[in-house]
Structure 1
């Protein structure tokens, strides 16, 4: 039952189990769980973590693909009052190690075999002094599933002790540390509290039209806000059934929509345009789809009309947010016109203020461009162990500077037009040039490098590297790209590489990336 009082994630889970106990909560390759069974598995997960030394305030890192195990591990940590640290399965060893070290993660739940990668083994030998316990799941053939075995071995009295801990969790406790990057290129951990997360996604799930019994195909990775908070948590809040997707495959997705009668989906516009185009030849019955949520500065009106006309989707909504504000600031409404949904991210959500300001911090008039600032219950507690960056981002009066540029129309709808920061988005994943450039500078033969986002028909944007090679040393572009694939997440790997004699700089020596973007336009 929904209440106005702030709630914690454990309270949401217990409420869902009480209200929807016999209804399906998760249908995955590994298991099918009702809400009552999910509650019991989460309590067992809490007991297992507690036996491994995890307590209130400790950090539990999760390095898994979308799965029931991901959900169980996160809910178990929340029940103990521990903080979840999601880690992308696209990251390489040093990238993940930075997050583990920075967060002082005490426990790690990792995949032993996902797409041929042993994530637990990837960080063997790396100095991680705070990491006291590691639990593998998705094992290789013949190896034990430590997670599943651990849950099976939990004793009833351990469950009672673990569940008792849930009563001590408060809405102001930090539930999640989501790592993001800024202009420095070093990942920063945004600290998000229980109460603000639950309140934000109660609003989100209502605006998206999610209801009990819906079948929610969760394609967005659970290490991403769109996967866990807008997927898992929103489903639990409303009593929907979760269908986790480990790896997106368009043909398999069409098959599942038809076979499972999926009613809710979320993701970037590229996913839905791909599905619609493929289904014109596949001819699957997609009529069960009722609600689609996407997030992009521009969505093709043709795509929205195709979802409504060809598929029969009733609700299509667009949204805008960023990690530091629980990934949600504005949403369109189900009854908005197609053009509003396509060209804007809608109006600010209830309980949150938004303004657009010029470089002096003065509000700009309607129709003028300004930096988007946000104030309200959804603003993070700050960056983990980084008061200087927190102070730069959150003004003394509570306004958070997003670094994004937008325009408000007379109806209060936001159009995001640019990014003050150089971040670009590849297929729904944020890419931060400074972070990528720092890694590239380790490649022998590079003297300087600048990374920009360039348009791509399928992915929206992809990375392009502008390279100044070291003198008197041949530079092999193919070898460089191969090195990038081995050392960074695939979505960060440049699809284009251009050699330059020098990078354009201003009088202060700062690289003028706008000139690079103009030259590429």
Structure 2
């Protein structure tokens, strides 16, 4: 294609929660999000996001409230994140590698009203056990729908997505049942009231040298940054299939996901990076963009015995961040 095809004389920006709605209207049957064990079209992703929004609203989440997400990469993460954005809530992605002190600090500092977690074990970390340690009194809470914890005074519920029903937490059944407390119409009414300059997300720094710092981002900042980068730099179209193994608590996953929803491309990811599974996804899902980004991931793919340059010739772009010498070696 010529550069003229990708010329942008304007940037079309909508609130974060509008993206799945618009994509469902434009690309209903196209692949939207693909995990090894689950996949959504844009129509089904939008339906799932609305269902998640209803559950969150049924548990009391509304415009301006803060929702924390402490989960490994999974489809529920994306559905819940989009559902919260539809309601006008602040999404707070929490680094799944935080230790007990950092996690306790962020839960209190972020003024979370609800916290969603998972019983998936993330790189040997049991989130249920970790939360019970960093939130004293959680395991003994008499009413998981109305927490009153000194360590997190604004936190009303911790929701566990999965098969378990831990003490002090609302389980998957309770989360699903809460959807009866709100309608699709209520979700879309709140979505219609979200302004571009409202805060969509609060990202926390890694906390390497001090306590993590919360950085509020508006819907405009989040979506405009992604649309411009993915449109102008990566030149994504509805024909693209974007493989990204990076964590959803990081902008290296959230911004490409937004770019895919804007362009109608498929977003392909996995719970934990594994070179064997990565090679399979790149091949079987016919990826056109490899967003491996970091040399350890890229070299693990390129050195894999099943990496065949001819077979992966459909990959038109491979993103990497490294010093020039390292990039030349790759």
Q: TM-score, normalised by structure 2?
A: 0.82
Q: Which residue of 1 aligns with 2:157?
A: 133
CA 1:129–1:22: 2 relative to 1, 3 Å: same
Q: How many Å separate the matches in 2 of 1:53 and 1:18?
A: 29
* Structure with larger Rg: 1
CA 1:65–1:31: 2 relative to 1, 3 Å: same
1:92 partnered with 2:99? yes
Q: How many Å separate the matches in 2 of 1:47 and 1:263?
A: 35
Contact 2:119–2:161 at 8 Å: present in 1 too?
A: yes
CA 1:155–1:84: 2 relative to 1, 3 Å: same
CA 1:92–1:22: 2 relative to 1, 3 Å: same
Structure 2 residue aligned with 1:273, among 299, 308, 326? 299
Q: Alpha-carbon deviation of 1:303?
A: 4.5
RMSD: 2.8
Q: How many Å separate the matches in 2 of 1:248 and 1:220?
A: 8
1:252 partnered with 2:277? yes
Deviations along 1:44-64, whole A, 9 cap, x unmatched?
111111111111111111111
Contact 2:58–2:180 at 8 Å: present in 1 too?
A: no
Contact 2:55–2:181 at 8 Å: present in 1 too?
A: no
Deviations along 1:202-239, whole A, 9 cap, x unmatched?
1111111221132222211010110112x311211111
Structure 2 residue matching 1:216: 3-state secondary structure: strand
Q: Which residue of 2 aligns with 1:296?
A: 322
Structure 2 residue matching 1:213: 3-state secondary structure: coil
CA 1:56–1:145: 2 relative to 1, 3 Å: closer
Q: How many Å separate the matches in 2 of 1:180 and 1:188?
A: 5
Hey, which of these two has a bigger chunk of strand by percent? 1
Deviations along 1:133-170, whole A, 9 cap, x unmatched?
11112435999994477347734961211121001111
CA 1:301–1:286: 2 relative to 1, 3 Å: same
Q: How many Å separate the matches in 2 of 1:128 and 1:106?
A: 9
CA 1:253–1:81: 2 relative to 1, 3 Å: same
Contact 1:113–1:140 at 8 Å: present in 2 too?
A: no
Contact 1:258–1:288 at 8 Å: present in 2 too?
A: no
Deviations along 1:297-340, whole A, 9 cap, x unmatched?
43634346xxxxxxxxxxxxxxxxxxxxxxxxxxxxxxxxxxxx
Matching of residues 306-325 of structure 1 within 5 Å? none
CA 1:283–1:292: 2 relative to 1, 3 Å: closer
Report the number of matched residues.
301
Structure 2 residue aligned with 1:240, among 251, 265, 273? 265
Structure 1 residue matching 2:205: 3-state secondary structure: strand
Q: Which residue of 2 aligns with 1:118?
A: 126
Q: How many Å separate the matches in 1 of 2:12 and 2:271?
A: 35
Q: Alpha-carbon deviation of 1:293?
A: 2.1
Structure 1 residue aligned with 2:289, among 264, 277, 284? 264
Q: Alpha-carbon deviation of 1:180?
A: 1.1
Matching of residues 82-231 of structure 1 within 5 Å? 82-115=89-122, 116-124=124-132, 125-126=135-136, 127-139=151-163, 146-147=171-172, 150-151=175-176, 154-155=179-180, 158-180=183-205, 185-206=210-231, 207-229=233-255, 231=256
Q: How many Å separate the matches in 1 of 2:37 and 2:276?
A: 21
Structure 2 residue aligned with 1:67, among 61, 74, 80? 74
1:18 partnered with 2:18? no
CA 1:261–1:303: 2 relative to 1, 3 Å: farther
Q: Alpha-carbon deviation of 1:283?
A: 4.2
Deviations along 1:404-444, whole A, 9 cap, x unmatched?
xxxxxxxxxxxxxxxxxxxxxxxxxxxxxxxxxxxxxxxxx
Structure 1 residue matching 2:304: 3-state secondary structure: helix
Q: Alpha-carbon deviation of 1:262?
A: 1.6
Q: How many Å separate the matches in 1 of 2:244 and 2:64?
A: 28
Which consecutive residues of structure 1, in runs of 5 or more, have no partner in the other structure? 305-521
Q: TM-score, normalised by structure 1?
A: 0.53
Which consecutive residues of structure 2, in runs of 5 or more, have no partner in the other structure? 1-7, 137-150
CA 1:30–1:145: 2 relative to 1, 3 Å: farther
